[in-house]
Amino acid sequence: QEDDFKKVISHAKEYGYVFQSSEIYDGLSAVYDYAQNGAELKKNIREYWWKAMVQLNDNIVGLDSAIFMHPTVWKASGHVDAFNDPLIDNKDSKKRYRADVLVEDYTAKIEAKIDKEVTKAEKRFGNAFDKKQFLETNPRVVGYQEQINTILKRLGKSLENEDLVDVKNLIEELEIACPLSGSRNWTDVKQFNLMFGTKLGASADSAMDLYLRPETAQGIFVNFLNVQKTGRMKIPFGIAQVGKAFRNEIVARQFIFRQREFEQMEMQFFIRPGSQKEWYETWKEKRMAWHLSLGLGAENYRFHDHEKLAHYADAAADIEFKFPFGFKELEGIHSRTDFDLGSHEKFSGKKLQYFDPELNESYVPYVVETSIGLDRMFLAVFSNSLVEEELDNNTTRTVLKLPAVLAPMKAAVLPLVKKDGLPELAQEIIDDLKWDFNVVYDEKDAVGRRYRRQDANGTPFCITVDHQSLEDKTVTIRHRDTMEQQRVAIADVKAIIHKEVDM
């Protein structure tokens, strides 16, 4: 698993997807830059989301609010008081951990034991092996699973009750039961606020303390009435936005999974009080359907319903994805009640109510939110797509099987040789295609090597121009995943690509 993940990270660098920020200065921890291909992939994921959420729903509109907001916003939202991570230091190693993540590391160790049992049983039973049944009935596996559930339940309860002493106790017990850090010398658990602070204004006494927003949602809440009125929106309706968010994450690791600066794609859906259960279920389903539409494999997703709820929620679930390091949160769906709008009413003294013409009454709407990290989605797509394939002739190829709609480059145009007018014809084809798609020209090396390069880059089509092309205006078009080649008229190329890559 770890090796797979290393491959993902080095492939992302080698093919111009993701670089460490400020690399020439030895990098900045947990901050990343998206390179020539990464920027395109990210843009395509953003557009895929925006199209599904805004363009295809006539009751959802977009917003692009500022990163800086009035500081009272973060008091009202609860972030000043409650946006904390529980931290614990190991006195021997001087390493700092997020207490909840550390506990998850212990449960991951137990999960690894389950995986081992599965592999063993798979070998023993061969084709007759029924994994689902095994997981449900094997006493050892069931025991491990119960152990995990008990640990997580206890963690959830202690965090909810702010019982930080018990969180420390739990870690100490776990370290004895399944040693992980190799040291039992811990400090107490302390709460640490995750917001980045900065100052607005130049002079010391007039400067105002600001925060970089830790989520995009609040920009939607404070604009709720402006958008509702000017857009003449009727409940139920949604406001969607994509933008940067910042969190001073302590345990920032796992590549772009957990960064200090990242992008969120959030949608707040405003509804009648009392209808939240129904809309919560609807959005859980709709969001899962969106994920499945990309074809990364249904077995790689699962819901995780929260028992421990944030201060603003009356129901919450994660859509978890099978990353190279296991199932982890990719998206959250939260029933936020009227917490945010109600709180902004109190703090601002302005009414944030909606007049419902059907009920003939005013109320503070309830909210169901869908919130997904763009960078996490990038990692999900990228890691899932990277495969090593054994070929018939005993060689292997590395292919980045990105969904064609998301691929940065849709086609590469390759003249078979660098002479006889083939480059010129290739260029003509590019000049026609580039109005519709990103296309790339490549004339270096043997054509087989060029195919491999495009496979590894995730380009769904290679269009090869040869001598026959000059005579009959046809080319070969090679499909990345099947490696099949067809001879087609140059005039048909555009339509063939459109069919596969259009959103």
CB of residue 306 vs ligand ATP: minimum separation in angstroms? 9
How far apart are the C-alpha atoms of 326 and 135, rounded to whole Å?
A: 17
User: Looking at 375, 442, 455, 466, which residue binds ligand ATP (CB under 6 A)?
Assistant: 375
**3-state DSSP helix/strand/coil % of the chain, to nearest 5:** 45, 25, 30
Fill in the DSSP letter of residue 68.
Answer: B
**E strand segments, 378-443:** 386-390, 396-400, 411-415, 439-441
- For residues 211 and 262, which CB has a smaller minimum distance to ligand ATP in the complex? 262
Cα–Cα distance between 217 and 269 in angstroms, integer?
A: 11
Contacts 24+ apart (CB under 8 A), 474-477: 475/429
Gyration radius of the chain's alpha carbons: 26
Nearer Cβ to ligand ATP (259/457): 259
Select 245 or 405, whichever has its Cβ closest to ligand ATP.
245
If binding is defined by CB under 6 A, does position 98 make contact with ligand ATP? Answer: no
Provide the minimum distance between the beta carbon of 319 and ligand ATP in the complex, in angstroms, as a whole number.
8
Segment holding 369, helix H or strand E: strand 366-373
By CB under 6 A, tell whether 259 contacts ligand ATP.
Answer: yes
Residue among 331, 338, 340, 466 that touches ligand ATP (CB under 6 A): 331
Q: With CB under 6 A as the contact rule, which of the stretches 18-26, 205-213, 297-305, 328-336 interacts with ligand ATP? A: 328-336
Which member of 267, 333, 372, 412 binds ligand ATP (CB under 6 A)? Answer: 372
Which stretch in 220-228, 283-291, 337-345, 367-375 sits in contact with ligand ATP by CB under 6 A? 367-375
Q: Does 117 bind ligand ATP (CB under 6 A)?
A: no
Q: Should residue 376 be labelled a site residue for ligand ATP when binding is judged by CB under 6 A? A: yes
Secondary structure in 3-state letters for 315-364: EEEEEEEEECCEEEEEEEEEEEECHHHHHHHHHHCCCCCEEECCCCEEEC
Both tokens of residue 362?
A: 């005013």
**Which amino acid, residue 318?**
D
Residue with tokens 């090869």: 464
Q: Which stretch binds ligand ATP (CB under 6 A): 4-12, 366-374, 440-448, 468-476?
A: 366-374
Distance separating alpha carbons of residues 87 and 189, to the nearest angstrom = 5
By CB under 6 A, residue 315 contacts ligand ATP? no
Nearest distance from C-beta of residue 238 to ligand ATP, angstroms = 16
Kindly state whether residue 105 participates in binding ligand ATP, applying the rule CB under 6 A.
no
Among the residue ranges 8-16, 255-263, 445-453, 478-486, the one whose residues contact ligand ATP (CB under 6 A): 255-263
Least distance in angstroms from the C-beta of 225 to ligand ATP: 24
Sign of torsion over alpha carbons 447, 453, 457, 458: positive
Among 373, 415, 458, 460, binds ligand ATP (CB under 6 A): 373
Contact between 264 and ligand ATP (CB under 6 A)? yes
Tokens of 385: 């797509």
Answer yes or no whether residue 442 interacts with ligand ATP by CB under 6 A. no
Number of residues binding to ligand ATP, judged by CB under 6 A:
16
List interacting residues with ligand ATP (CB under 6 A): 215, 247, 249, 258-259, 262, 264, 329-332, 371-373, 375-376
